[in-house]
Amino acid sequence: MVILPIIVAIALVLYIYYKVAVIRNKDKLTQAYFNAKSRICLGIFVLVFGINQYLYYQTKLSLFIGIIFLILGGMQLNLGIKESKHYRNEWKRLYPNGNES
């Protein structure tokens, strides 16, 4: 199961990338959108990390911790997707030509 650690690493890198993009951008709408994208990456990270830990250890304790991580990761992922759709639609409404000048 090499794919799960790769997904965990990619999600962590993308989370850090979007958090840095939030700091570097001055537009509040774009900051909120990047924050939603970082929440999606955090949700994927926690979700896949929980699955990976259960598959690696396969004990009752890792199962309970994995279930908690699945719930928390799923909640972050769901909220991030909803926020991302909302802010993307707001951006399209405010800037119909595609530029923010």
Q: How far is CA 64 from CA 45, 51, 76, in A?
A: 17, 11, 19
**What are 72's two structure tokens?**
């928390």
Range of the domain at 51: 3-94
Does residue 99 lie within any of the structural domains?
no
Question: What is the average per-residue pLDDT within 9-20?
Answer: 97
Does residue 57 lie within any of the structural domains?
yes
Does residue 71 lie within any of the structural domains?
yes
What's the number of domains the chain is made of? 1
pLDDT confidence band for 97 (50 / 70 / 90): confident
Q: What is the pTM of this model?
A: 0.91
Q: Which of 97, 101, 6, 94 is nearest to 49 (CA)?
A: 6
Element (H, E) at 1: none
Does residue 100 lie within any of the structural domains?
no
**pLDDT, the chain, mean:** 94
- Is the pLDDT assigned to residue 4 strictly greater than 60? yes
Does residue 101 lie within any of the structural domains?
no
